[in-house]
Structure 1
C-alpha cells in the first residue's frame, strides 16, 4: 500500500464541501436547509446529534439521515466525522474549552477522559495500515541521519521518541526549538538519504509544516505522525502514521500518538536487537557506576539507618 500524498490531502480536505455543492440542485427543500446550515455553521453542526440538527433546521431526524445518505455517507455518524475533519483546525482555544465543558460528564470527569482516551487507541488500531507502519520502519532503518521535529504539545512526543532512538541509533538529531530561524539552522544540512519524522496535531504548528516543506525541497524522506488524512502534514509526507487525538479538548489527548510511537520504537528495537542489547549493557554499567538510579540496596541501607537512629 502506498502512503498518502499531497493529492490525497487536497482531495479529502474539500470533499464534504464538494459533495454538498455537486448535489445541491438535487436536494429537497429540507435538505437544502440542512446544507445551508452546515456550510454556514459547521463549527456548531459538528457537535449536534441528528435529532438536534433536525430540530434546529426544522426538519425530521429521518430527513437528516437521508441527507447524509444522499451525500454518499453511510449514515449520519460518517457525515459527522467528515464535519470533524473540516472544523478541527478552525476552533480557537476558548471554543475548545467551551466544547469540552459541554461534552464531558462533569460528575465523572476521570471516567469520561479515560474512556475517551481508550476509544482513541481503539480507533487508531482499527484505522492504521500495518503496511504503512512497516514502510516507515524501513525508511528509518535506511536513513543516514534521522531528524525528529515536534513543537509545542508535540514536543513531548518528539522528546520521548528522541530519547529512545538515541539508545538504538547514533545518527539521531532531535530538533528542539520554537524559533523558526533556529529550526532551519538545525536542519539545513538535510540530504536525500536522510529521513525527517515530523509530529503535529491540531492545532497544527506552522513551524513544523515549514520544516516538512523544506525537507521535501532537499529530497529527504518525510514521515509524519499526525491525526488524520486531512492533516496539512500529509501534503509533504512520503509516509504518514495516523493516530487519533481529541479535536475538541483544550488539553491535547496524546495517548494514541504515544502508543503509536511506542510501537515504532519496539519494532525498530526488534530489527536492531543486537545493537540495543550491546548499548543497554554498556549503559547499565555506567548507570551503576555513577548511581543514576536508586536500587534496592540503597533503599535498604537508608531504611536500616533510619531504624537505628529512631532507637538511639
Structure 2
C-alpha cells in the first residue's frame, strides 16, 4: 500500500507545476481528501474541484493512467485498508439516499460482477482448476466475513473430492494444528478481502513454506494474500459499507465448482446418487417437502408417514 501511495502522490507533486488551475484544484482535493475521492465518479470529483468531467478525465491521463477508471482504482487501493467499519458506514450513509438504498446496493453488486468478469485472468482460473484436480488434500480457509464463502466452497468440493478440509479457528495456533500435515501434494485455498485477515495470511505463508500449492481468492493484485500464492483469482468487492459485498467472489466460487464438477462428472454423479439414497433412507428432506395442489385443497405438507393431516391453517399435512 505504501508503494501505491508513494506512486500517486509522487506523480501529483512532480506534475503539479505543469498543471492548469483546474487541474491544480483537482490535485489539491485528491491530496487532502483521497478517502472521499475514492468513492466519486469523474463528474462528482469534478464538481468538488469546480471543473468539468472532461477535465477530470484529462487529469487522470496527465498523471499517467490509461483513463479515469485506472486512476480511480488506484485511489480505491490506497484507502482500502485505511477505512475502519465506522468510516465505511459514514461514507456509505453519506452518499446513498435512504429511498435508493435497495436499488443502489443491487446496482453496485451487479457492477462488481461485471468488473470481475471483464478483468478475470482466464489463465489463472484454469490453473486453479488444474491444480485442484491434481491435489491429494484440499484445504479451504476464510475467516470472519469470508467464513461463509469458505464453508460454501468446501461443502461442494466435498461432493467432488475425497479429502477436503475446512480450516476454521478462533486462534492462530489452532490454524497451524489443522495444517500441520500439509505438504507438496496438497492445495490450500485462501479467501480474504479487506480488511485482510492476518491469520489467513499467516496460514498461506505456512502452507507456502511447506511447498503446498496456494490459491487465493481476493480483491486485487496488490492484496497481501498474493505474496505466497501461485495462482490468484481476483474478484471485486465493495469496501464502502458496514457489510462486505462478496457477491462477485461467490460467483467466482460457483464457476470454480461447476468447472471442477464437469471435469469429474463420473465421481460427482456417483456421489450424488449415494447421497440421494442416504437422504431418502434417513428422511433427510422428506419432512420439509411441500407439494402444490389445486386451490381448493391448498398446500399439502409431506411427513415421513406419507399421510395427510389438517393443521388448522388451511394446509393439509401428509
* Contact 1:20/1:71 (8 A) holds in 2: no
Q: Partner of 2:70: helix, strand, or coil?
A: helix
Partner of residue 308, structure 2:
304
Q: Could you tell me which residue of structure 1 aligns to residue 220 of structure 2?
A: 228
Instruction: Please state how far the C-alpha of 1:144 moved relative to its aligned partner.
Output: 1.2
Measured in 1, the distance between the counterparts of 2:217 and 2:174 equals: 22
Give, in whole Å, the separation in 1 of the partners of 2:180 and 2:272.
32
Residue number in structure 1 paired with 2:113:
121
In structure 2, the residue corresponding to 1:47 is in which secondary structure?
A: coil
The equivalent residue for 1:253 is: 245
How far residue 58 of structure 1 moved from its aligned partner, in angstroms, is 6.6
Listed one character per residue, the Cα deviations across residues 165-211 of structure 1 (whole Å, up to 9, x for unaligned) are 11111111110113111011111211111111000011111110111
Shift of 1:234: 1.3
Work out the CA distance in 2 between the residues paired with 1:58 and 1:273: 59
Looking at structure 2, the residues matched to 182 and 152 of structure 1 have their Cα atoms a distance apart, in angstroms, of 15
Q: Residues 158-307 of structure 1: matches in 2 within 5 Å?
A: 158-294=150-286, 295=289, 299-300=301-302, 304-306=308-310
Matched residues in 2 for 1:151 and 1:103: separation?
A: 29
Q: For 2:100, which of 100, 108, 125 is the aligned residue? A: 108
| TM-score of the aligned structures, taking structure 1 as reference length | 0.87
**Structure 1 residues 48, 23: closer, same or farther in 2, change over 3 A?**
closer
What is the match of residue 157 of structure 1? Answer: 149
Name the structure 2 match of 1:81: 73
Identify the residue that residue 296 of structure 2 maps to in structure 1.
none
Structure-2 separation of matches of 1:299 and 1:163: 28
Query: CA 1:54–1:109 in 2, change beyond 3 Å: closer, same or farther?
Result: closer
| Cα offsets for 1:43-72 (capped at 9, x unmatched) | 122234445545655766555433211111
Q: CA deviation at 1:289?
A: 0.8
Deviation at 1:39, TM superposition (A): 3.7
In structure 2, do the counterparts of structure 1 residues 50 and 126 end up closer, same or farther at CA, with 3 Å as the change threshold?
A: closer
Describe the shift of the 1:57–1:167 C-alpha distance in structure 2 as closer, same or farther (beyond 3 A): same
Task: Tell whether the 8 Å contact from 1:161 to 1:261 is kept in structure 2 after alignment.
Answer: yes
- Residue 82 of structure 1 deviates from its aligned partner by 1.3
Q: Secondary structure at the match of 1:229?
A: coil
Residues 1:25 and 1:114: Cα distance change in structure 2 (over 3 Å): closer
- Distance in structure 1 (CA, Å) of the matches to 2:42 and 2:109: 24
Counterpart Cα distance in 2 of 1:40 and 1:307: 65
Task: Output one character per residue of 1:71-103: Cα deviation in whole Å (capped at 9) or x when no partner.
Answer: 112333331121011111110100110111123
SS across alignment from 1:189: coil
Distance 1:102 1:309 in 2: 46
* 1:92-142 deviation line (CA, Å, top 9, x unaligned): 100110111123232132222222111111111111122211110000011
Distance in 1 (CA, whole Å) between partners of 2:259 and 2:214 is 18
Structure with greater helix share of residues? 1
Alpha-carbon distance between aligned partners in 2 of 1:268 and 1:241, rounded to the nearest angstrom: 15
Secondary structure of residue in 2 paired with 1:240: strand
SS in 1 for 2:99: coil
**Counterparts in 2 of 1:44 and 1:115: CA distance versus 1, 3 Å:** closer
Which of 85, 89, 97 is residue 89 of structure 2 equivalent to?
Answer: 97
